Amino acid sequence: MCNNLFPRALLYGGMKESQPQAEVTLEETRAEAFSMLLHYLYTGRASLSSAREEVLLDFLGLAHRYGLQPLEDSTSEFLRTILHTHNVCLVFDVASLYSLGVLSEACCAYMDRHAPEVLASDSFLTLSKTALLTVVRRDSFAASEKEIFQALCRWCRQNGEGGATQEVMSAVRLPLMSLMEMLNVVRPSGLLSPDDLLDAIKTRSESRDMDLNYRGILIPEENIATMKYGAQVVKGELKSALLDGDTQNYDLDHGFSRHPIEEDGCAGLQIKLGQAYILNHIRILLWDRDSRSYSYYIEVSMDELDWMRVVDHSKYLCRSWQNLFFTPRVARYVRIVGTHNTVNKVFHLVSLECMFTHRSFTLEKGLLVPNENVATIAACSSVIEGVSRSRNALLNGDTHNYDWDSGYTCHQLGSGAIVIQLAQPYSIGSLRLLLWDCDERSYSYYIEVSNNQQEWTKVVDRTKVPCRSWQTLKFDKQPASFIRIVGTHNSANEVFHCVHFECPAQSDAEVKEGSPGQESSSTSQNPRPVRPSRTHSLLPSLPSSSSTSQPHL
């Protein structure tokens, strides 16, 4: 017995279809597809794999017409698994007609990966004008402009009517074609006016190469700077290490690529990708077996002549992993140029990854505006000044396990500070810290930020305010690689103690400013640590991580 709402409404709804002798004509409906639909309605099953492709497309149309969403989704998913060069255009046309976003995107992704074959197929000529323009206007439809032009000429000869030809041919990116192609291929076709050709020649001659609207291959969320994708290091010393994927086994002698740091910037590490790809994300690992920092910039190019700078950290001190984002660019070459090393005149790079990511990100003056806490050990931040019994206790995220002896970082009032180095420069506008609060004491302090440890900008001043426990601090966004916390007063002794630091302040942390650090419901069951004798020091004797010795490469 059928329990679907659709046949109930169809057979018992009081309309024409429910009358015993009524004859209902189904316009533009293939009998085989409708038979499949009836079988599904009465059995809950449909054999998709045994149906011909054109029947499947009609079946999908019926599911959409009659609002059978689960059936529509299942049929769309099956069609995604059987896409090939000769059916993808037909499937895309139907998906576009019914606004099936997931199926449409799957078709576009397939056509992007097989663009030359799709252009040469007969099914390309069956695309509607709207679907055709959607495909060829994509930056990721990575065929040569000559192939695209010739395929559009064929489509226009078969389908072009009136103004359709002009609109379709406007999708050709003429400035990407060579002068010979424009004169010997485009001009004889008669489909574009002489003015169009002259405008294209003018644009190409007056524009820098990297400003042209190139097409590139799009492979989201996958590193394409690998030998698998044909990438190779073409400039630099010790080339083999950079793209081998090993980010663990490196030391003073091996596991990195390098180049001498020169004033003119002629030296650098250059990678040739297997093809032109769309990129917006690069990750690099700077050599980090000691506390040294580097400065650098990254450029991309299509022809090795015109270079577009996408990352400029030449005025910042950076260390370890760098997560870099920029406006999407089509590139065949990537160049990393080191401009500074705090230890010597050599730039060392352990690993490089290039990709396109769909992850959202915000840039301000070329710097990433982070949403998540970047002052963590996992994000390669470190405490370079300050005293603690545990290395990087300030950044380990533990806001519960601290007492009179451990779990905090400190400095003597009037001498030194607590300094955190972020792995790379960020644009930050908030901080949060937990002052040691195992008794009722209060502190005063101020906070500065810097890009180079030489020039500091004060962003927080609480020198005249008694502060305790959680501190949430907001200010105008500033570029920062270093944060310096300077205690100026402690109502109990001459030492400034900080338990936890984060940057930026995390909005999901439900902690009120000034409340105790131990915010869980178990706080009342865990009494505060008993205060030690007066002879017990609140200043740990162990040095901070800044005391680590520095080996030389």
Percentage above 70 pLDDT, the chain: 86
Lowest mean pLDDT across 22-36, 248-262, 283-297, 311-325: 22-36
* pLDDT greater than 80 at residue 214: yes
User: Average pLDDT, stretch 356-375?
Assistant: 96
Q: Which residues contact 503 (CB under 8 A, 6 or more apart)?
A: 370, 373, 374, 375, 420, 422, 426, 428, 430, 431, 432, 480, 483
**Span 30-53, pLDDT tens digits:** 677 777 777 778 887 877 877 788
Closest CA to 120 of 137, 103, 143, 104: 143
Mean pLDDT of 492-521: 70
- pLDDT value at residue 43: 80
pLDDT of residue 258: 97
Lowest mean pLDDT across 4-13, 96-105, 184-193: 4-13
Residue 446 — φ and ψ, nearest 5°? -140, 160
pLDDT at residue 545, as a whole number? 41
DSSP codes joined into one string, 357-411: --S---EETTEE--SS---STTTT-EEEESEESSTTGGGS--SSS--SSSS-EEE
As a whole number, mean pLDDT of residues 375-385 equals 97
C-alpha atoms less than 13 angstroms from C-alpha of 221 in its C-beta half-sphere: 3
Rounded average pLDDT over 241-257: 95
Residue 110 has pLDDT above 60, yes or no: yes
- The one-character DSSP state at 461 is E
- The amino acid at residue 373 is N
Q: Hey, which residues does 483 pair with through a beta bridge?
A: 420, 449
Backbone angles phi, psi at 105, to 5 degrees: -65, -35
- Asked, colleague to colleague, whether 227-361 and 382-518+537-547 share their fold, the answer is yes
Max CA separation in the chain (angstroms) = 104
pLDDT per position as a tens digit, 300-346: 999 999 999 999 999 999 999 999 999 999 999 999 999 999 999 99
Q: What is the mean pLDDT of the chain?
A: 88
For 227-361, the fitting CATH number among 2.60.120.260, 3.40.50.720, 2.60.40.1930, 3.30.160.110 is 2.60.120.260
47-104 per-position pLDDT tens digit:
787 778 888 888 888 888 888 888 889 888 999 999 999 999 999 999 999 999 999 9
Q: Give me the mean pLDDT over the 506-510 stretch.
A: 61
pLDDT score of 211? 94
> Worst-scoring range by mean pLDDT, 20-29, 73-82, 156-165, 528-537?
528-537
Identify the pLDDT of residue 524: 39
Domains of the chain: which residue ranges? 227-361, 382-518+537-547
Tell me what pLDDT residue 370 has.
Answer: 96
CB 444 within 8 Å of CB 465: yes
pLDDT at residue 328, rounded to an integer: 97
pLDDT exceeding 90 applies to what percent of the chain? 73
- Mean pLDDT, range 484-504, rounded to an integer: 97
Task: Pick left, alpha or beta for residue 268 (phi over 0 → left; psi -120 to 50 → alpha; otherwise beta).
Answer: left
Query: Which own/partner pairs from 43-51 qualify as long-range (CB within 8 Å, at least 24 positions apart)?
Result: 46/71, 46/74, 46/75, 48/74, 48/75, 48/78, 49/78
Query: What is the pTM assigned to this prediction?
Result: 0.85
- DSSP annotation of 505 reads P
* Residue 37, pLDDT score: 78
User: Which residues, 6 or more positions from 184, have their beta carbon under 8 angstroms from its beta carbon?
Assistant: none
Q: Which CATH architecture has domain 382-518+537-547?
A: Sandwich (2.60)
